């Protein structure tokens, strides 16, 4: 992987190079991204996502889809 690039957990990618992003309206937005280098852990995003935007990593949860309301969860320190 290269330094100073936007990257997401590879598991956050949906089929067709898409991700779900925490939108400004309190709902999830589906967004098409262009990807670069990838491995099992992370994938570089070269277009379609800015540094700091929050993507969904819990795609397996019931109800996680575009236009669904979201709550941002944080991991406790040290975990």
Residues 72 and 54: beta-carbon distance below 8 Å = yes
User: What per-residue string of b and e applies to 39-61 under the rule 16 or more CB within 10 Å gives b?
Assistant: eeebbbbeebbeeebebbeeeee
Residue 24 has a pLDDT of: 86
Bridge partner list, 34: 47
- Give the β-pairing of 18-22 and 28-32: antiparallel
Residue 5 has a pLDDT of: 86
Task: List pLDDT tens digits, range 10-62.
Answer: 999 999 999 999 998 899 999 999 999 999 999 999 999 999 999 999 999 99
User: What's the pTM value of the predicted model, to 2 decimals?
Assistant: 0.83
């Amino acid at each position: 992987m290269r330094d100073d690039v936007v990257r997401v957990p590879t598991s956050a990618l949906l089929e067709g190079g898409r991700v779900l992003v925490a939108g400004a309206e309190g709902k999830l937005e589906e967004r098409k991204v262009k990807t670069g280098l990838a491995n099992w852990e992370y994938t570089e995003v070269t277009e379609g996502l800015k540094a700091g935007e929050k993507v969904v990593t819990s795609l397996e949860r019931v109800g996680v889809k575009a236009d669904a309301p979201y709550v941002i969860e944080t991991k406790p320190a040290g975990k």
